[in-house]
Structure 1
Amino acid sequence: MRVLVTGAYGFIGAHIVAALTAAGHQVVCAVRNARRDSRFSGLAAVACDMAHDSRSEDWLPRLEDIDAVVNCAGILREHGDDTFAAIHEQAPLALFQACRQHGIRRVIQISALGSAADGEFIASKHRCDDALATLELDWLVLRPSLVYSARGSYGGTSLLRGLAALPGVLPLPGHGQQQVQPIAAEDVGAAVAAALSRPQCIREVIELVGPDVLTLHDYLLAWRRWLGFRPARVLAVPARLVRVSAAIGERMGNGPLGQTMARMLERGNIGAPDATTRLRERLDLLPRRLLRALDEAPSHVQDRWHARLYFWLPALRVLTALAWLGSGVIGWLTPVAAVMASAPGSSLSADTCLVLPESLAALTWCSACFVCCVGVLASY
């Protein structure tokens, strides 16, 4: 099949593209500006803009010679024109309508497991699922739970790895008893490839979950052991503090720390009791247990560095900004220092006063680098 995949370069989308390619399908990546990702340099790419392509006419030219469509596009937070309504509802529904007009019947929607009460991220996904169900298409909705990969991370998975790798402590909301049912990203890709090979698997919603229901505490401990770090003391974080941190992250940051992630973890993220049975019956898929997936891909030094440095990146940005600010202030004071040096009765030469600001600027930079290095080295 020739398959159009939206959101092809995202964390989940990339694993789906890899699985479809391995299964022998021809993949066309629908991405912004039609840029070619070096990871998939041999695949075709077409331009799309999920924030603005809200008419079926926008999608019709991109569906020439396409046999099936997989929609993986999604965002965890809104920013500018990238809204939940546009990217999770309007653009996908325009694409699905274009499929109907073009005669493409096979459509797979990658949604999200959870409750609409968890926030607009999931609510908008589920509204799109419901609208898709009304179209005369051979549609299939897949709702993955917490998705991870031992071979890489992004967004929320990077955040959880960073939490698991903190030196000395393991901070957990409450006592970390929230339940999750994680599934490997590679198994999500295998589910999509399996669905395309089963024409009878249509017009239903399937939850993509792993075989084990774990507490958040056990999930993070598994990652900590995989990274090779010593056991840490559990630090129970009050729910109110978690909500405040999520609210700050929602307003001031652009990473995964936000209200969507906090609500999903607070409520837990597990499938129906028969979810794994349905996966085996409908897709002939038995996802791997977390520990088995980790054992099949042992960690390397790059994984440990990435996990330990995750929370240092914001600190490095702040220190860099302070260093620039300090250099600017010192540079602005330099003419004043030179005038003082040339004044009668001054005990300092002009050359000395000009050297001092330069030394202080260098000291500011060195201090910032020193703090970062000490923090990194102290964590190993």
Structure 2
Amino acid sequence: MRVLVTGAYGFIGAHIVATLVAAGHEVVCAVRGARVDSRFPGVTAVACDMARDLRSEDWLPRLDRIDAVVNAAGILRENGASTFVAIHEQAPLALFLACQQRGIRRVIQVSALGDPADGEFVASKHRGDAALAALDLDWLVLRPSLVYSARGSYGGTSLLRALSALPGAVPLPQGGGQHVQPVAAEDVGAAVAAALERPACTRQIIELVGPEVMSLRDYLAAWRRWLGFGRLRVWSVPLGWARLVAALGDRFGDGPLCRTMMRMLERGNTGAADASTRLRDELGVAPRPLLRALGEAPSQVQDRWHARLYFGLPMLRLLMALLWIASGVVGWTATTDEVSVLTIDGPLSGHAALVLARLTGGTDLLLGVLCLLRWRLRRVLAAMLVMLAGYTLGIGLLWPAQWLAPFGGLAKNLPLLAALALLLVTEERR
């Protein structure tokens, strides 16, 4: 089959693409900018923008010679034009209507397991499911629970893996007694591939869950053992505190820590009692237990690095932003006499040095604020790296004595350059 996959480069979408390619299907990835991902050599890509392609006419040209469509696009947080309504409802409906116009019968929707009362993430997904169900198509809706992979992570799975790797006691709401029913991303891909091969399985909603219901505490303990960090020690956090942290994550963060995820966890992210049996009967797929999936892919040192750096890198970015802001404030408040002390035996006059301090201080302040706000962070970090290298090189050549100044002087810039380079190369989210 020639299959169009939206959200193809996301965590779940990439596993679906890999499974379909391995099964011999020709995959067309509908992604922003038509970028061909080097992870999938030979795969075709077409341009789309789920935030703006809201009419069926936008999708019709992308459906040439397509036999089936898999919609795996989704967002956990809204950002500008990328709203839940656009990404989960309007754009998918436009795509589904285009399929109907083109006579493409088989449409598979990768949705989300949960209760619409948990938040707009789930509610909008389910409204998209209902819109698809109203069309004359051979549709199938798959609703995965907590999706994980031993070969990588993203979003909430990265957060949980990082929690399991925390030194000391791990803070969990009410001791981590909430229930989850995790399913491997590879098994989600297998379910989509099986759905394409079973056209008779149609016009129904199937919950994609693992074979076992476990507590959040046991889930994290399994990951901690897999990472090689020993026994999990839990610090039971009152539910009110956990809700407050989730609310702060909603307000100030941009990751998976939010009230929607907290409500889903409180309610329990599990399927119906017969979900595993139904999945096996309808699609012939039997997801693996967590311990088996982890045992088939032993952890490596890179897994431990990623888990431990998950919280460390944001802290490093915050400290860098505050340092640049402080440097900017110092540059703007420095007096001529203070600057003149630094220009002894240098080529600049006190006045010229003060002007330079004001200019560089203003730039530092701007970059520090932008870094704090995560605005186009890769470009901001690159600018900070270039400026710091320029400071170090320029001052080191014009005022060599600064290398020997008390408390390290310019020498302190060297580890800062390394820290900025680390932030820059680890900023990629996928």
CA contact (8 A) 1:173 1:266 kept: no
Shift of residue 330 of structure 1?
A: 4.7
Matches within 5 A, 1:137-152: 137-152=137-152
User: Structure 2 length normalisation: TM-score?
Assistant: 0.80
Shift of residue 326 of structure 1?
A: 3.8
Who is 1:228 aligned against? 228
Who is 1:378 aligned against? none
Who is 1:188 aligned against? 188
Distance 1:334 1:358, change over 3 A: farther
Who is 1:51 aligned against? 51
Q: Distance in 2 between matches of 1:82 and 1:322?
A: 30
Cα RMSD for the two superposed structures = 2.4
Shift of residue 242 of structure 1?
A: 1.4
Shift of residue 212 of structure 1?
A: 0.5
Matches within 5 A, 1:262-277: 262-277=262-277
CA contact (8 A) 1:52 1:86 kept: yes
Question: Are residues 1:219 and 2:208 paired?
Answer: no
The 10-residue stretch of structure 1 (251-260 or 207-216) with the greater mean CA deviation from structure 2: 251-260
Deviations 1:159-202 (Å, cap 9, x if unpaired)?
A: 00000000011211111111000000000000000010011000
Match of 2:261, SS state, is helix
Q: Distance in 2 between matches of 1:361 and 1:257?
A: 39
Who is 1:77 aligned against? 77
Deviations 1:11-62 (Å, cap 9, x if unpaired)?
A: 0000000010011000000001111111113100000000011100000000
Shift of residue 310 of structure 1?
A: 0.5
Match of 1:40, SS state, is coil
Distance 1:53 1:341, change over 3 A: closer
Question: Are residues 1:336 and 2:350 paired?
Answer: no
Percent identical residues: 69
CA contact (8 A) 2:73 2:87 kept: yes
Shift of residue 358 of structure 1?
A: 9.4
Deviations 1:84-119 (Å, cap 9, x if unpaired)?
A: 000000000000000000100000000001101111
Q: Kindly provide the amino acid, as one letter, of the partner of residue 161 in structure 1.
A: R
How many residues get paired?
365
Q: Distance in 2 between matches of 1:358 and 1:69?
A: 63
Q: Distance in 2 between matches of 1:357 and 1:244?
A: 45
Distance 1:195 1:329, change over 3 A: same
Deviations 1:327-359 (Å, cap 9, x if unpaired)?
A: 43455537432446999xxxxxx9899775995
Distance 1:358 1:80, change over 3 A: farther
User: Structure 1 length normalisation: TM-score?
Assistant: 0.90
Who is 2:201 aligned against? 201
The 10-residue stretch of structure 1 (75-84 or 249-258) with the greater mean CA deviation from structure 2: 249-258
Q: Distance in 1 between matches of 2:235 and 2:117?
A: 27
Shift of residue 271 of structure 1?
A: 0.4
The 10-residue stretch of structure 1 (356-365 or 100-109) with the greater mean CA deviation from structure 2: 356-365
Runs of at least 4 residues off by over 6 Å: 340-343, 350-355, 367-370
Distance 1:245 1:362, change over 3 A: farther
Who is 1:311 aligned against? 311
Shift of residue 239 of structure 1?
A: 1.3
Shift of residue 360 of structure 1?
A: 5.2
Q: Kindly provide the amino acid, as one letter, of the partner of residue 78 in structure 1.
A: E
Distance 1:285 1:319, change over 3 A: same
Shift of residue 139 of structure 1?
A: 0.2
CA contact (8 A) 1:2 1:65 kept: yes
Q: Distance in 1 between matches of 2:133 and 2:343?
A: 82
CA contact (8 A) 2:112 2:143 kept: yes
CA contact (8 A) 2:181 2:211 kept: yes
Distance 1:326 1:202, change over 3 A: same
Question: Are residues 1:323 and 2:316 paired?
Answer: no
Deviations 1:207-251 (Å, cap 9, x if unpaired)?
A: 000000000000000000000002242101111111111111112
Q: Distance in 1 between matches of 2:329 and 2:337?
A: 12
Match of 2:176, SS state, is coil
Who is 2:31 aligned against? 31
Q: Distance in 2 between matches of 1:263 and 1:86?
A: 23
Unaligned runs of 5+ in 2: 345-352, 354-398, 423-430
Match of 2:175, SS state, is coil
Distance 1:184 1:340, change over 3 A: closer
Who is 2:280 aligned against? 280
Deviations 1:286-344 (Å, cap 9, x if unpaired)?
A: 1100000000000000000100110011101011112323443455537432446999x
Q: Distance in 1 between matches of 2:343 and 2:83?
A: 60
Q: Kindly provide the amino acid, as one letter, of the partner of residue 76 in structure 1.
A: L
Unaligned runs of 5+ in 1: 344-349, 374-380
